[in-house]
Amino acid sequence: MYNKDITAKEIKTIGGQVDIMPTLLYTLGIDESEISNTAFGKNLLKTNKNFTVLKNGEIVGVNVKENDIKHAKEGIDIADTVIRSDYYKTVLNYKKKNK
């Protein structure tokens, strides 16, 4: 990734696919307040959390706190519900019907 305001360096923070969007938006200069509570994942350039949860529920990371594990697993459950229920399609259809 490139951002003219960031010096090139390797970031060794462990993350998953869910962390790509918040990280990319940050490098593009999007204010974090614009996506807070609307996206899953963490900005890998501005976090002290160094782990991810694999599909099988396994935690991969360093110095992971129990509360963070619980929070991350709950997030996965919520994300699965959003995907399986086709949440965004349902919300958009509802908004179209009620304009």
Give 33-62 pLDDT, tens digit per residue. Answer: 888 777 788 899 899 999 998 888 888 998
The pLDDT of residue 13: 92
Give the separation between CA 76 and CA 55, rounded to whole angstroms.
Answer: 9
Mean pLDDT computed over 2-8: 77
CA-to-CA distance for 68 and 80, rounded, in angstroms?
18
Q: What share of the chain is helix, strand, coil (3-state, %, to 5)?
A: 45, 5, 50
CA–CA distance, 99 with 88 (Å, rounded to integer): 17
Q: What are the residue ranges spanned by the domains of the chain?
A: 17-97
Identify the band that residue 84 occupies on the pLDDT scale cut at 50, 70 and 90: confident
Name the helix (H) or strand (E) containing 92: helix 87-97
